[in-house]
A and B are shown apart, each in its own frame.
Chain A
Amino acid sequence: MKFFPGCMIHNRYPGIEKSLYYVFDNLEIEISPLKGSSCCPAPSITKSVSQDLWLEIGKRNIQLAKNDTIMTACNGCFTTLFEVSEKIGTGDVRHVAEFLYFDVGTEKIRRSITKRLPLKLAVHYGCHFFRPGEYKKFTSPERPKILDELVEAIGSQSVDYRYKMMCCGGGGGVRAGATEVSQELLEIKLDAMSNEEIDAIVVVCPLCLNQFDNGQKELENSRNRSYGIPTVHYIQLLAVAMGMEPELTGIQWHSISSTDLIEKLVKGEMAEE
C-alpha cells in the first residue's frame, strides 16, 4: 500500500502520518509513502475553478501508485482520488477509517490495543467522508456509524450531541473564501458540543481538525468565545491505544491542548484480555 499524505498531513499534521505507520506496523500491513505526490487537489476549491484541472492532477497522483492501493487519512484527498479513480476507471483508493472498519474490523482492533482510552468523545465525521452517497456507497449518507463504533473499540464513549452531522464550517472553500461564515458555523457546532461533557472532538480529516483546533483560537480573537476543547484524529488515538507514546502523535503541537486529555492518554485503562 501507498500512503497519500496530501498537503495538510505532510505539511501541518505529520503526527497523523506517524500514528498511521505505527498502527499499520502493529497490524502487520505494509505501507510506504507515495513519493512525489502533490496536492490531491482539494475537491470543492479546485472544482469551483476548473473540473479539468482537478481531474488531471488527481489522475497524476493516482498513476504514481502504479495500481497499488492508495491509503488516505483526509476526507478531501479521499474524495478527490476516489472520485477521479471512478471516473478514469483505475486506482484503488481507501480512507483509513473505512479501511479499519471494513478490512480490519472492530473486533481485531479491540484485540490489538494494549490499553483502553476512557475518553468521552464528540464524533465528527466530516461531510466528505460519507457524502455524496453516489460515490461513497459504503455507509449511510444520513447516519453513519463507522466512527462511533471505531471509537468504542478503543474503550472510549461516543457522546451524542446536537448538530452531529453538521459541517465544521471549513469546507467548500468557505474557511478561506468567506471566513466569517466559516466562524459562524463553527460557533454553532462548538456550542452544541460544549453542551455535553467531553474530553475531545475526534475527526478523520486534517481539514476538520484544523478548523476545530485553529478555529477555536480564531473564535477567541474575533468573537471572544473560548471553548478549550482539544481535537484529535482517530488514528492518533488508535496509535496511543496500541502503545505509541502520545508525544509521537504530535498532539502537543495542536493549538488547543488539555493536560487532562494527555493524562488519560498516558495512563489509559487495562485492556481486556
Chain B
Amino acid sequence: MDDEVGAVINKCIQCGTCIGSCFSGRVTALNTRRILMEHLAKGVPIENHDALWFCVTCYACQERCPRGIPVTEIILKARNELARRKGLPGRLKNAFSYLEKHSALVPGKDRNLEMRKELGLPVYHSQFDDEARKEVSEIVKRHLKEVIR
C-alpha cells in the first residue's frame, strides 16, 4: 500500500461500523475493522489477508464509514498485491484467460448463439469479431504480463 492510502487509513477510529455492515464478515474470516487496526497498530500490510477475497464489494462499509475511508477501494487495491504474490483463487484463475482469449470474462458458446438466433438478435460482441477481439486481447496481454503468470 502506498503512502496516500496509509494517510487515509490513519483517520480510522475503530468504531466498527464497517464490519457491522459487512454481510460477508458474518460468515467468513473477513474482518475489516481488525485489518485496519493491525495495519495502524502493528504495520501489518493490508494485502497479508487472504480473506480479502471474501469481500463481495457491496460498498456498505465504504458508504457508511463516518471517517470517509474508502474501505472497499482499499480492499480492491490490496488484492492487486495479493494476486501478484499468490495468484487468483478458485475459478477466478480461468476468468482472465477467457478475457485474454475471447475478450469476454463470460464467453459465449454455440448454445448461446442459437438462443440469440432464435430470438432474431444479431451476434456482435467483440468475441465474434476477429479484429475487435484481437484489439482487446492485446490490451489484456499488455497489462497482465507484469501482473499474473
Contacts and interface: CB of A to CB of B under 8 A. Distances in A.
A60 B54 contact: no
Interface in A147-195: 163, 165-167, 169-174, 176-179, 181-182, 184-185, 188
B34 to A, nearest CB: 18
B92 A185 contact: no
B7 interface: no
Nearest to B107: A11
Interface string A29-56: 0000111111101111101111111001
A109 interface: no
Interface string A14-27: 11011000000000
A12 B90 contact: no
A14 B121 contact: yes
Given A53-B143, A57-B139, A60-B139, A177 B116 contact: no
B98 to A, nearest CB: 9
A179 B91 contact: yes
Instruction: Tell me whether chain A's interface is mostly helix, strand or loop, or mixed.
Output: helix
A162 B89 CA distance: 31
Nearest to A36: B132
Most chain B beta-carbon neighbours within 10 Å: one of A49, A128, A131, A141: A49
B56 A167 contact: yes
B67 interface: no
A142 interface: yes
A172 B57 contact: yes
B41 interface: no
B108 interface: yes
Interface stretch (A2-10, A100-108, A221-229, A256-264): A2-10
Instruction: Tell me whether chain B's interface is mostly helix, strand or loop, or mixed.
Output: helix
B96 A38 contact: no
Give the size range of B's interface with the partner: 35 or more
B121 A17 contact: yes
B76 to A, nearest CB: 5
Interface residues of A, number: 61
A50 B125 contact: no
Given A14-B115, A17-B121, A7 B104 contact: yes
Nearest to A8: B106
A252 to B, nearest CB: 10
22 contacts: A11-B127, A14-B112, A14-B121, A37-B124, A37-B125, A37-B126, A41-B99, A45-B92, A45-B95, A47-B79, A57-B136, A60-B139, A132-B72, A165-B60, A171-B57, A173-B95, A176-B90, A178-B28, A178-B54, A181-B28, A181-B54, A188-B27
Interface of A: 5, 7-8, 10-12, 14-15, 17-18, 33-39, 41-45, 47-53, 56-57, 60, 127-128, 131-133, 141-142, 163, 165-167, 169-174, 176-179, 181-182, 184-185, 188, 248, 250, 253
State the 4 A-B residue pairs at the shortest beta-carbon distance, nearest first: A11-B108, A172-B57, A53-B143, A7-B106
